Structure 1
Amino acid sequence: MTWQGFTGSVDEWDALVERLGATTPFQLSAWATFRESFGWQPTRLITPDGKSAAQLLVKGVGPVQVAWGAGAPLGVVAPSLLRDLVNETKHLLNARVSYLRLADHAPHESSRVAAFRAAGWSTTKRPVGSLRTLVRSLDVDTAPLSASYSSNWSRNLRRGHQRGVIAEEWHSPDTQLIAQIHRDVDDLKQKFHAEWRSEPAALEQLLECFRERIVIVKAHDQAGTVLAVRAAVIIGRHGYDFLAATSKEGRKTYASNVALDALLGLLVTRGVIDYDFGGVDPVNNKGVFDFKHGAGGTEASYVGEYDATSPKF
């Protein structure tokens, strides 16, 4: 047996996630706790040597147990481990039929991709998330943050300041207001569905689950009207983009530039060394891609998204 159920506490799980090299906030216990209210139950697996692990969110769909692992597996990957993961997951879930989907957010490596293929996993036809991201360094020992901004991004940041936009850490976030700004985004983009981001109660629960791991910045005008919100989750010395929304008025005043600049600065003070912008789509969402790229992001690819069933069909 190469996999077994993880029996430790949630704090022990989070320590394991950090040790194995988290690539996304979605392997943290906080995310699983949050998603439980949406009908997903967490299942955590680990290899006996502690070098590989996976947190899966499970939901029954008819006779099939669906297991979804965003950011899984963590640590070592090999064809034998990936083959056994399918069978052991089915066994742990006591399922007659199981469908397992993983989004491996580790940096793209041909050997890791080959392991999935050799184990009989299929590339998903319709990935849930993006297979590409932008990552920027927060090392200010050699150069200030602004040195990585494009000239256009820097110009828009100055415009934001000139229009009186101020950014600061939001210690007691107003989830009603954050939800409303996300609903504005939903209206503007039409096809973009914000899910829980537009529900105050869900946002309140999210913040409670992540607690001190989440850092939120608000950008507001001189009258105190909130124009933009930006949040990151910290895991060890790494930061991950988590919430981002700008009101209609904020788009006219470059509030998103001011908010992101302030957030990155806060992360630096907390010892964070790099920042993952959380997935990009340069074709279907070019505006967001250009914004993140202009903020100093360098393109990177994930291993990819794969699925497998047991029994095979």
Structure 2
Amino acid sequence: MLAAFIDHLALRPADLLAVKSYRPQDPEGVTALLSHGFVPVVTAMDHTIELDLTPDTDAILAAADRRWRREVNKATGQPDLTAVFLTDPDERLRAFDTFVRMYAALQQRKGFSSGLDTAAYRDLAASDPHLLFLEIRQGGEPILVRIVHTARAVWTDFFTASDERARSTGAATLAVWRIIERARQEGASRFDFGGVDPAGNRGVFDFKRALSRNVIQSGPTWIYARNAFIRRAAATALFLRSI
């Protein structure tokens, strides 16, 4: 299959092909990549925190840090704080627009850059049946939007954004907890937090680690080019960019 895929692409000598693996591959897949000259590149960004969903929710919560349990109890004890899963296409578009506004404000507040093209992604995200949209509302008003990719075995946290009101309510904790409950109900066995950055974003890392300490490698990125020099140069550049 990989050979047919490469033949179909008809790469020119200077073209690059990158395959990003978000899960560890099976031995046959790794063998195929190595056999065709792909070069694996592992960086700090190729790591995530994963939660085992096979225990029941009481056991999952009991294994979490005390502060995480406290935040869950705090959030679930607020009657004006609700979690709403959105299925209507118009509601999903509206929620995505809310996410964009919150995400832009968050970028300005924290000063980070992002390669997410929200304008290009808007219609794709809203219509993708594999994406779960969750709004946390306070008094009926959205204060947090979370977008999660769903699959048979693994649900992966993709994007989240919130406003200042969410911080004092425990909205982020409630969102993750409701998604975990939903994932278990639909038969998923693992929840992927979508990456970790303890050096650059310690607060978010600590939030995720309070629920699970299972840090795993989610990469690597496999680099291919017909020209061996270009292949090695691209792999080296990708590695150095992450340092």
TM-score by length of 2: 0.77
Alignment equivalent of 2:184, drawn from 263, 268, 279: 268
Q: Measure how far apart 1:250 and its partner are.
A: 1.0
Aligned residue for 1:280, secondary structure, equals coil
Match status 1:99 vs 2:16: yes
Distance in 1 between the 2:28 and 2:10 partners? 29
Q: CA deviation at 1:256?
A: 0.6
State the Cα distance separating 1:117 from its structure 2 match: 7.0
State the percentage of identical aligned residues.
20
1:136 Cα deviation after fit: 0.6
Could you tell me whether the CA contact under 8 Å between 1:101 and 1:307 is conserved in 2?
yes
Offset of 1:94 from its aligned partner?
Answer: 4.9
Change (3 A) 1:270 1:118: closer
Which structure has more strand as a fraction of its residues?
1
Residue among 59, 62, 72 paired with 1:147: 62
1:3 aligns to what? 3
- Alignment correspondent of 1:179: 100
Which residue of structure 2 aligns with residue 295 of structure 1? 211
Gaps spanning 5+ residues in structure 2: where? Answer: 230-243
Contact 2:40/2:222 (<8 A) preserved: yes
The answer on whether the counterparts of 1:138 and 1:274 sit within 8 Å (CA) in structure 2 is yes
Query: Measured at CA, do residues 186 and 118 of structure 1 come closer, stay the same or move farther in structure 2, by a change above 3 Å?
Result: same
Of the three residues 135, 140, 143, the one matched with 1:218 is 135
User: What runs of 5+ residues in structure 1 fail to find an aligned partner?
Assistant: 5-44, 46-87
1:159 pairs, out of 53, 74, 77, with 74
Q: How do 1:81-120 and structure 2 match up within 5 A? A: 88-89=6-7, 92-107=9-24
Is contact 2:71-2:170 (8 Å) kept?
yes
Query: Residue in 2 aligned with 1:12?
Result: none
Q: CA shift at 1:180, angstroms? A: 1.0
Instruction: Note if 1:256 corresponds to 2:191.
Output: no
Structure 2 counterpart of 1:205: 124
For 1:98, the aligned partner's letter is D
Deviations 1:58-78 (A, max 9, x none): xxxxxxxxxxxxxxxxxxxxx
297 and 268 in structure 1: CA distance in 2 versus 1, 3 angstrom threshold: farther
Structure 2 Cα separation of the partners of residues 178 and 2 of structure 1: 37
Q: Over residues 7-61 of structure 1, what are the superposed CA-to-partner deviations in whole Å (9 max), with x where a residue is unaligned?
A: xxxxxxxxxxxxxxxxxxxxxxxxxxxxxxxxxxxxxx3xxxxxxxxxxxxxxxx
Alpha-carbon spacing, 1:157–1:142, altered in 2? closer, same or farther (3 Å): closer
C-alpha root-mean-square deviation of aligned residues, in Å? 3.1
Give the 3 Å change call, closer, same or farther, for CA 106–176 of structure 1 in structure 2: closer
Structure of higher RCO (CA pairs closer than 8 Å, 6+ residues apart)? 2
- Once the two structures are TM-superposed, the CA of residue 102 in structure 1 deviates from its matched residue by 2.6
- Structure with the higher helix share, 1 or 2: 2
- Tell me which amino acid in the other structure corresponds to 1:138: L
Paired residues of 2:64 and 2:212 also in contact (CA < 8 A): yes
Contact 1:231-1:263 at 8 Å conserved across structures? no
Q: What residue number does 1:195 align with?
A: 116
Residue 137 of structure 1 and its aligned partner are, at CA, apart by 1.3
Letter in 1 for 2:64: Y
Q: TM-score scaled by structure 1?
A: 0.61
Partner Cα distance (1:106, 1:137) in 2: 15
> Structure 2 vs 1, CA of residues 111 and 301 (structure 1 numbering), >3 Å: closer, same or farther?
farther
Secondary structure (helix, strand or coil) at the match of 2:72 reads helix
Aligned to 1:232: 148
Look up the match of 1:28: none
* Closer/same/farther in 2, CA of residues 141 and 123 from structure 1, 3 Å limit: closer
Q: Relative to structure 2, which stretch is displaced further, 237-246 or 258-267? A: 237-246
Partner SS state of residue 17, structure 2: strand
Contact 2:81–2:138 (CA<8 Å) still a contact in 1? yes
Which whole-Å CA distance do the structure 2 matches of 1:205 and 1:103 have between them? 20
Q: How many aligned positions are there?
A: 223
Distance 1:92 1:204, change over 3 A: closer
Q: Once the two structures are superposed, what CA deviation does each residue of 1:158-188 show, in whole Å capped at 9, x if it has no partner?
A: 3334454221212332222121111122112
